[in-house]
Structure 1
Amino acid sequence: DKHKKPVVLKQRKWLMTMAPVSEIGHGKGRQYHEPVKVKPLPDGGVRITEQDGDQFKVTAGGDVSPLTKGATMGTKDGGAASKVYDADDGAEHAYYGRGYVQLTWWSNYAKAGVALGRGLDLLNDPELVKTAEVAYALMSHGMRTGAGFANGRKFSMYFAGDVTDYVTA
């Protein structure tokens, strides 16, 4: 009979939301996966100690400089923590991808916080990146300036004057 409803074998209801999220796996397998220790300094900056013992200073303005000779950012995922790391009394934080655009690496959390006028707030409390206000501000800033995006590109490269390039953007 033509008035019968079609048979639905399986139906799924999808709820589409726009919410800042954490990176799946929290960066496992990547050099930014392991937590670091963050120690506030009297001058408003912080000391970063990575699990391999490398230490860095981050100024209140977000500039990063090594404190240990030969220090390189990042550490082997799953490696044992060094004695320097274990002895450090800083707060432990992990800087895997968070937000709408998946901000990663402790140095990017520092730079992004300063760029948004929040100082080192994001470095000291990386979960702030998952608040809608901060996640939106990061995404908007990145779209306008290219800062914070791995490729450094901004939307004006794809949408300006008579250029409209949705595919490449």
Structure 2
Amino acid sequence: MSHSVAGEPPSAGRRAAPLTTAVYSAAEWDLLISLPGRVLVATAAPRPGRPDRGVLAGLTGLDAVAAGRASDSDLVRAVVAAIYARHDATSPPVERLADLVDLLAACRAASRVLGRRADPADSAAYRQWVQSVAARVCRAVPGPGERRLDQPATPADRRFLDRLGAALGLG
């Protein structure tokens, strides 16, 4: 019997991990489970025209990744479960200063993999979830002594989100 990440049985009609993950090669699966973290790091990294988000960005991004556990998509839930199942010693290091060109190329590659192998609804849910991680981080701007998560995106953030969305095939 399968169990959810928290150990309780999955809700009726939902599997803890989809059986369809077997259709992905090891390299494809690694791409799908590493992309949300890469997007988080790239979005949180200080860049000209973007506010310094500090620790708040990381916490917000982690929360956005974890929100995938409640997704209606089997694929998104399986990716989140795989992210949390990785041990620190076996996880590849996330580059602190992710190159935007490489990140966008990885997004395009993930979109191609999903287009070939995933159910269209799961593909859309995954790509929207990854985009939501970036969008939530962009709205996280620490104020003096407070956490503000509802800030409008700066022009630089909007350009970044537009490029990310295009690479993910969302626009």
Task: Report the TM-score, using the length of structure 1 for normalisation.
Answer: 0.23
Indicate the structure (1 or 2) with the bigger Cα radius of gyration. 1
- More helix per residue: 1 or 2? 2
- More strand per residue: 1 or 2? 1
Considering Cα pairs closer than 8 Å and 6+ residues apart, tell me whether 1 or 2 has the greater RCO. 2
Task: Report the TM-score, using the length of structure 2 for normalisation.
Answer: 0.23
